[in-house]
Amino acid sequence: MSRTLRVPIFPLGGALLFPRQQLPLHIFESRYREMVRDAIDGAGRIGMIQPLRDDDDNQAPLYGVGCIGDIVGVEELDDGRFNIVLLGTDRFRVISEAESDAGYRCAEVDVAAFDDRDPPPLSLGSRAEVEREARRLGDALGLAVDWAGVNRLDDEMLVNAIAQVAPFDIGAKQALLEEATLAARADLLVQLMQFHRVAVSGGVEIEPTLQ
């Protein structure tokens, strides 16, 4: 069963949003300032989605899956730029792009395409593996991380936060977003962290691997 919404969409490579996860954004392009103003005056939501390529013409083809974000924080700066915070609600599949007179793109999306209710917890082994590989990758990248704080995160927050901030290519991030369950996302995340760590440690230039 589908549930269709028309939403403004913000194509931004490398920016993942998951249900119950927050994403801070600095909005400076004129078309996206318009989008934020219209969203604030309307339903208060934006569809985050990754483009298949980086373009400046606002016409890049899009991946088929993104996530709705409710605007839960907004600061308008004196020059018209915005700092906003999105809270993820539902992942969606794009049905079609919608005609719009605005400078930004809109789409008809199915927000019932995924079961995004609170997931069951990970197994103890899976949780431990995620934490272990995150620490190893952080060490390989030379990052200063509050591991005590990381350990206090619940399973969903832990996996999705790493997926958001890890330096994976766009295709890998998209694969994480599209995993149907938290357990499957955790397994893929571990594989990606292992690959990235080995490549970084060996001085290998990392090429996109998942498309």
- Per-residue pLDDT reduced to its tens digit, 70-128: 999 999 999 999 999 999 999 999 999 998 889 999 999 999 999 999 999 999 999 99
Single pTM value for the model? 0.90
pLDDT digits (tens, 9 = 90+) for 11-59: 999 999 999 999 999 999 999 999 999 999 999 999 999 999 877 667 8
Q: Read off the amino acid at residue 93.
A: R
Q: How confident is the model at residue 56, as a pLDDT? A: 64
Model confidence at 211: pLDDT above 50: no
Q: How confident is the model at residue 201, as a pLDDT? A: 78
pLDDT band at 210 (very low <50, low <70, confident <90, very high): very low
Model confidence at 61: pLDDT above 80: yes
Q: How confident is the model at residue 100, as a pLDDT? A: 85
Model confidence at 209: pLDDT above 80: no
Q: How many CB atoms lie within 10 A of CB 130?
A: 22
Q: How confident is the model at residue 208, as a pLDDT? A: 41
Model confidence at 132: pLDDT above 60: yes
Q: How confident is the model at residue 207, as a pLDDT? A: 46
Residue 131 tokens read as 């934490």
